[in-house]
Chain A
Amino acid sequence: MKILVCITNVPDTTAKITFTDNDTKLNKAGVQFIIGPYDDYALARAVELKEQLGGSVTVLHVGEAEADPQIRKALAIGADDAIRINADPVDSYFTAAQIAHIASENKYDLILMGRESIDFNSGVVHGLVGEMLGIPSYSPVMKLEISGTTATLAREIDGGKETLTAELPLVLGCQEPISEWKIPNMRGIMTARTKPLVVVEPVSVEEMTIPEQYSLPAPKGACRMIPASEAETLIKLLRTEAKVI
């Protein structure tokens, strides 16, 4: 079983987001970066599948050297080697094209990643990679078992979930509870230092979209407090003032 896990390097979920350079760049000062939480689930499941079935787990990141600590963490969690495509990705299409290029040169049975990155929330890279490689893609996958060359997976559909059986190779966007996040142990951290991390330059990709400017939402007005003894007033206000019921 040869597994590729694609990870993002994103601000921590509790990070306060601000911008610099005339609102054209994220202000990274004081922001803690992490492996995308959904990607972390994908990685954890990949490591479990490798332990169960043998094979290898390769971690892939499209981004600059600042992500190396997160890539090392992925190696410490149990990936065998890593590839970093040295580029500042401009959009999902660019990222997917890089992943598809690496995947087309190495035959992976499974390509796993999070259902979406928590910075841009597009949730399209798995679908793009699947189509670029001409193989099926499914998301969000909450359960994954492999038997031989067949995957049985449960994925979320609107208001519920369904079970699917499909032949490998597949591209899957993952989310909890596919696995539980793994915390690297000391041995993992030590061995991660010497595991290979190959840096390759990106392939050129047609320009699709260009981010122009960032902005923040307008600040919220003050909360109108209603005494608990007059709770009914809330319902009146929701009808007459907010007009939402």
Chain B
Amino acid sequence: MSVLIFVELDNGSVKKTSLEAVAYGAEVAKLTGTTATVLALGAAETSALEQTGNFGATKVLHVSDEKLSHENSLAYADVLAQAVQQENSKVIIISKSGLGDAVAARASAKLKAGIVSGVTELPVIDNGFSVKRSIYTGKAFSTVEVKSDIKILVVKKNAIEALEGTGIAKIESFTPTLRDSDFLASVGQIEKASSELSLTEADIIVSGGRGMKGPDNWQPLLDFAHALGAATGCSKPVSDLDWRPHHEHIGQTGIKVAPNLYIACGISGAIQHLAGVNGSKYIVVINKDPEAPFFKAADYGIVGDIFDVLPKLTKAVQDLK
């Protein structure tokens, strides 16, 4: 009956957003009077799997088969469905991402389970099972009652405060039946971004817009991001103009991010850009135009020339250390 949490691995470690999902799953387990079990697929470090115990998991089902080390939503959903049957789980928790949604979708159809994607709070279970989710790209919320016996919640970043405690999760090896039909696609070239920090995982993001004035002017922004240990992003016009790569595009039709701190440099704040960042805890806007609409959505603002302000901020961060 345990709550089952599907986690994503990155180089053998559990992704931070997935650890948040573990913490969320452990809270749901408390509410429903059961325990939290993690499902991890592919090569993983034992210590990384045990670490999920710090976030409240008591057990990890680990499928170490190398075939699962490469992202494969078809096979992952199939394994997840088998794990749900073995554990007799009624609630499945997955962190929101392209992969998370794909696995949730295919598992839902296999298990006839209702999905709620974009969950922002813990469920309320005293009278049925309802949960709040983000809709209209963060412009609104919807409370949804889940009627199906098995329920899949795809949880947004920062849905709960994931506090790390101490605990060891017991690792059990799990050997599902893998179907050949899930491995028919052949994978060619893989291009990973040069930045080691992914935007969806980053706690701090420094992002640039048209105010950066050209592709060759990004060094001050990159220096600032480096000093903060931040990932870098950009607005849609910037990626459309090829000043920055497409995978850095944040906004309604790009990546949606929810860092603790989002710093927008030279971005006016079109509603489509705001839709991609409105999950951020704090927003800082630096823009030379005091009328930029982004200031209305910001917590802190500086009106000034970014090429003058950024080096000062970089130095101030370096002076902190």
Contact = CB atoms under 8 A, between A and B. Distances in A.
Nearest to B201: A158
B82 interface: no
Contact of A217 (B184, B278, B304): B278
Interface string B135-179: 111111111111110000010000000000000000000000000
B139 to A, nearest CB: 5
Given A93-B114, A96-B109, A121 B135 contact: yes
Give chain B's interface secondary structure class: mixed
Contact of B305 (A38, A96, A118, A228): A228
B101 interface: yes
Interface of A: 11, 13-14, 17, 19, 37-38, 91-93, 96, 115-116, 118-128, 130-132, 136-140, 142, 152, 156-167, 175-177, 206-217, 220-221, 223-228, 231-232, 234-239, 242, 244-245
Nearest to A164: B185
Given A159-B247, A242-B281, 8 more contacts: A93-B108, A96-B109, A139-B98, A162-B189, A208-B148, A211-B143, A225-B303, A232-B312
Given A119-B136, A159-B247, A212-B144, A228 B304 contact: yes
Contacts of B190: 157, 160-163
A231 B304 contact: yes
B313 A131 contact: no
B228 interface: yes
Interface residues of B, number: 94
B79 to A, nearest CB: 14
B105 A128 contact: yes
A232 B299 contact: no
Contacts of B138: 217
27 contacts: A13-B253, A17-B139, A37-B252, A92-B115, A116-B101, A118-B252, A123-B101, A124-B108, A127-B106, A128-B105, A137-B73, A158-B10, A158-B97, A162-B191, A163-B188, A214-B143, A215-B142, A220-B296, A221-B299, A223-B295, A223-B296, A228-B302, A228-B305, A232-B315, A238-B284, A244-B204, A245-B204
Contact of A160 (B73, B191, B299): B191
A130 B134 CA distance: 25
B105 A126 contact: yes
Interface string B182-202: 001111111111010011110
